[in-house]
Structure 1
Amino acid sequence: MAVYVYSITAAPHAPDLHGLTGVGETPAELRTVCAGPLCAVVSDAPEGLRSKRRDLVAHQAVQERLMAAGPVLPLRFGFTAPDDDAVRAVLTERREEYTQRLTALEGCAEYHVKAAIDEEVLLRRILQETPEARRLNDEIRAGSTRPELPLALGELVAHEVLARHQALASGVVEALRPHTRQERVSEPTGDDFLNISFLVDDEHRQVFLAAEKGLTHELGQEFDFRLYGPLPPYSFV
């Protein structure tokens, strides 16, 4: 029978699964599949599993319980294997890789940062601080009917928005990077100019959080700065 795989841990960290439920409309019992120094936390895979909130919460709860007891390699929601033997085979085949990764993640958590700036504020700054943009805007506002002006202004503003987004993202990363072990950058979505995950160890966690708080204060209310964590290190498995 197919099994749903939640995460991989070191065998000495015997996971306490009491009170946790698995994914699915009728959750199957959680159990461990072990091979040598590694264990995988699994349950029977439900049929037709979809990413409903109930199941996402159950998946995350398993990761957080395991993370509290020691390092964990969390798998993304929806990962399945054909059966327990297939799980054992992978644990055996990739034993060295998984063991090294668990050691590297000891005492670490993931923090995810997203950031955006108010669009009207940014456009106002561009028109005020970029002479050519200000000139083109003034001509349009003065009633010029030259058809090339709006296009030229639009292209200039788009270029400035991109450049300023990149500069802002770089500034945020440079401020936080000294207090982290690793980082993983993802493509920003929506209005965000930054979408990044940091791996932070226990020793630097408070310094990292203090730096983030100071950065938020420095950027001001026109920025939408979001910090998520501590999280299981999904981005660093």
Structure 2
Amino acid sequence: MGTSQVYVYAIVHAGRGLPPEARGVGRPPASVRLLPVGELAAVVSDVPEDLRARRRDLMAHQDLLIRLGADAPVLPMRFGMVAEDTRTVAEAVEAAAATHLAALERLRDRTEMNLKVSPAQCGIESLVRADAELRRMLTDVRRRPSYEGNVRLGQAVADGLTRRATQAVEEALPRLTALADGFVRGPEVPGCVLNGSFLVPAAASERFRAEVERTAAAHADQVELRLTGPLPCYSFVPQDGAEPAPPARARAEHAMTGS
């Protein structure tokens, strides 16, 4: 096996092909190849000389993963995963082969859908109508305008919108999770009451989208919903042993922070 560094995109079953004219990160886009490791294979390419988290490369990384996952399960790597050489990749994949195979089986015929939910700003009027305390605060501010009064009123309105949006989300979640084989809450996103990812079977994807649309329509004055997908199943891959050795992680983080 070679000694030059390699960029790692994903882990897949051995014996599968790559999408036609598959290309990776870099300019010009790197040629992508399979690195067989027993029953598995790593999808890799050479490392661009100036690897950075540029939009074009982030999109190239994700687009390749989406194409790979169109007809077979894929364990995606995060952007910027670089290993010292192919031997390092092969050893890491082989060491966690059982975990990888189990994860690939779980992801078969499934995709990740991400849902972000934020309070609907158009709901302020209905919020005030339904909240006697807000109506009192609004009357006080109009009678005795002050900076402090406006700040308190603004915070109370923001809290009320967030509270109603959270209630709407908690009501809708059981219906959405019933259509999925997995659900995880992601990192907090400013302005959002939910950043959640769902592992959705292909057979239920249209019903899942329809339920999101129904929820958006039924709670239009409470929440704004943004559904993204299909996505690579980042949120549902094993956290231990799913990626190359720690030196590769450190190098990837260096590449990301250098952008």
TM-score, normalised on structure 1? 0.87
User: Which amino acid in structure 2 is aligned with residue 125 of structure 1?
Assistant: S
Question: Does structure 2 conserve the Cα–Cα contact (< 8 Å) formed by 1:112 and 1:196?
Answer: yes
1:79: Cα distance to partner? 0.9
Aligned residues with identical type, % of pairs: 32
CA distance in 2, matches of 1:96, 1:205: 28
* Equivalence map 1:127-166=2 (5 Å): 127-143=128-144, 149-150=149-150, 152-154=152-154, 156-166=156-166
Unaligned ranges ≥5, structure 2: 238-259
Match of 2:99 in 1: 97
Structure number with greater CO (CA < 8 Å, separation at least 6) is 2
Conserved 8 A contact 1:20-1:61: no
Shift of the 62–153 alpha-carbon distance from structure 1 to 2, 3 Å rule, reads closer
Label 1:178 to 1:168 Cα distance change in 2 as closer, same or farther (>3 A): same
Q: Relative to structure 2, which stretch is displaced further, 52-61 or 80-89?
A: 52-61
Query: How far 1:3 sits from its partner (Å)?
Result: 0.6
Aligned residues of 1:128 and 1:134 also touching (Cα < 8 A): yes
Residues 17, 30 of structure 1: 8 Å contact kept = no
TM-score (norm 2): 0.80
In structure 1, stretches of 5+ residues that fail to align are none
After TM superposition, the structure 1 = structure 2 runs for residues 98-113 of structure 1, keeping only pairs within 5 Å, are 98-113=100-115
- The answer (yes or no) to whether the contact 2:120–2:165 under 8 Å persists in 1 is no
Determine the C-alpha separation between the residues in 1 that align with 2:20 and 2:155.
59
- Does 2:26 correspond to 1:11? no
Count the aligned residue pairs.
Answer: 234
Determine if contact 2:33/2:44 at 8 Å carries over to the other structure.
Answer: yes
Q: Please give the secondary structure, in 2, of the residue aligned with 1:225.
A: strand
Asked if the contact 1:15–1:69 (Cα under 8 Å) also holds between the matched residues in 2, the reply is: no
d(CA) in 2 for partners of 1:43 and 1:105?
A: 24
Runs of 4+ in 1 over 6 A off after TM superposition: none
Q: Find the residue that maps to 1:229 and give its secondary structure.
A: strand
Question: Cα 1:92–1:228, aligned 2, differ >3 Å: closer, same or farther?
Answer: same
Alignment partners' CA distance in 1, 2:148 and 2:107: 56
Distance 2:157 2:220 in 1: 23
